[in-house]
Structure 1
């Protein structure tokens, strides 16, 4: 792996090992092909290690999701669908792996977790957030279809109605609201430390038994179908002129 993702092992307070995955990519950990590839490699290494608890952390911003600039460049070159094909399915598979793996995942979030990057939080079993952390979809702003489990996974966690209204209104939900929804278990000035404490406090076998029964075959199949539908919808919308115009406006206003 390169500097995009760093992995190491830390000991929890109860003496158990924890596999730590740190995102450290440019442009606020934007979900571009290199970072996504390295995240899959990190999960490969985690599986090989046999460690059953893992922590995912970012930097000042957890991740701002897909790189709008790179989607814009691909769209200008009439290769938007091609670029989507090396980003979206890879993200979807990452989300699915996190749900399926016999590992208790915790995430620690600061700043933005936007677009598809929010799926990493949705797929985590536990999460801690700094007071400045927020989640916002942004899909309607760009003209993108949702990915990362916003329609495939989030309705399972908070209900279909709240998930739809969040997407439609493009609400920015802060740490306390995320905690109220049950997407975050703790709000703390040091979310990385708090997430490790959460991992240490639970009994591993019990937690993994609960995870395997909640995410049973029927639910996993439903989520997989939903993720595949997100991928198809994203690919359908990404090449439109309307989407290109919205990306142009967004990049101009944020440039």
Structure 2
């Protein structure tokens, strides 16, 4: 079965890259509920094998990646608690799906990534930013606590002390500092979206089983002992050595040519 992208008009698929907008140009580039829902539908299809993609690209469609939640929508809700709970559930469905993907996830972090936008940066395997990139916790500014997995991912990425300073201090972090801390995996001078897309296209053309195995090993390492991880690594590399991409990669290296993955 092939997924019909007309059901998710904001989502695109080209060059093996599934592009998921998470904010639109209006409303200050706040997290868009419709975009989040479409991302969830497309990700379910990707997990089910109904979409053939080798990478996922998260983007904002305006000047910023994502300026956080729609605070005006919070204020207008009849029941603010229930409204925010529902929005968090919808966002968290996407965060869980991103975490479970076997293909790389790239975030094009142009402009501001605040609140839920910063959480989605943390959910990506690769985050590309530029001189104008700014990260901000944002939640304390409106008297709220984080969502989108920020309180789990941030201390693991930069340590408890730096995570507390970022989250509770609520001071913007520029792209250079975010890159130094590893929150951005690359910092480019040119167009951030173009650079992020080029990276996603390159990753999509790579060895998918190897990418999936690397992600699985990294995920397992969070709870595994060294002995368990060594056994898992041995089994994984042995399995890949006889896979189509593994055979092609080794043979191409020996022949001093570029490998052509995905042919098997």
TM-score w.r.t. structure 2 length?
Answer: 0.72
Tell me, what secondary structure is at the counterpart of 2:11? strand
Aligned residue among 73, 76, 82 for 1:73: 76
Q: Deviations over 1:124-155 (max 9, x none)?
A: 00111132111101111111011111212211
Matched with 2:28 is 28
Structure 1 position 35, deviation (Å) = 2.8
Cα displacement (A) at 1:33: 3.1
**Residues 108 and 192, structure 1, Cα contact 8 Å, conserved in 2:** yes
- Are the counterparts in 2 of residues 23 and 57 from structure 1 also a CA contact under 8 Å? yes
SS in 1 for 2:156: helix
Pairs within 5 Å for 1:1-255: 6-11=10-15, 17-23=16-22, 25=24, 26-47=26-47, 48-58=50-60, 59-74=62-77, 77=78, 79-188=79-188, 189-199=190-200, 200=202, 203-216=207-220
CA 1:4–1:138 in structure 2 vs 1: closer, same or farther (change >3 Å)? farther
State the Cα distance separating 1:187 from its structure 2 match.
1.7
Q: Distance in 2 between matches of 1:171 and 1:205?
A: 40
CA distance in 2, matches of 1:217, 1:181: 21
1:5–1:68 Cα change, 3 Å: farther
Asked whether the equivalents of residues 5 and 21 of structure 1 are also in contact (C-alpha less than 8 Å), the reply is no
- Any gaps of 5 or more consecutive residues in structure 2? 224-264
- From the superposition, tell whether residues 36 and 20 of structure 1 become closer, same or farther in structure 2 (CA, over 3 Å): closer
CA–CA distance in structure 1, aligned partners of residues 83 and 180 of structure 2: 36
Retained in 2: the 8 A contact 1:5–1:35? no
8 Å CA contact 2:107–2:124 kept in 1: the answer is yes
Q: Is the 1:22–1:56 contact (alpha carbons within 8 Å) kept by the matching residues of 2?
A: yes
Cα shift at 1:5: 6.2
Matched position secondary structure for 1:64: coil
CA RMSD of aligned residues (A): 2.4
Are the aligned partners of 1:91 and 1:148 in contact in 2 as well (CA < 8 Å)? yes
2:217 & 2:6 partners in 1: Cα distance?
36
- Alpha-carbon distance in 1 for matches of 2:144, 2:11: 32
Length-normalised TM-score, structure 1: 0.74
Assess if the C-alpha contact under 8 Å between 1:36 and 1:90 holds in 2. yes
For residue 262 of structure 2, what is the aligned residue in structure 1?
Answer: none
Flag the 1:217–1:95 CA change in 2: closer, same or farther, 3 A: farther
Cα offset, 1:106, TM superposition: 0.4
Greater Rg by CA = 2
Deviations 1:25-58 (A, max 9, x none): 2313322432321221232343321312111111
Instruction: Check conservation: 1:6, 1:24, Cα contact below 8 A.
Output: no
Paired residue total: 211
- Pairwise CA distance, 1:71: 0.9
Question: 1:202-255, CA deviations, whole angstroms, 9 ceiling, x for partnerless residues?
Answer: 654333222111123966xxxxxxxxxxxxxxxxxxxxxxxxxxxxxxxxxxxx
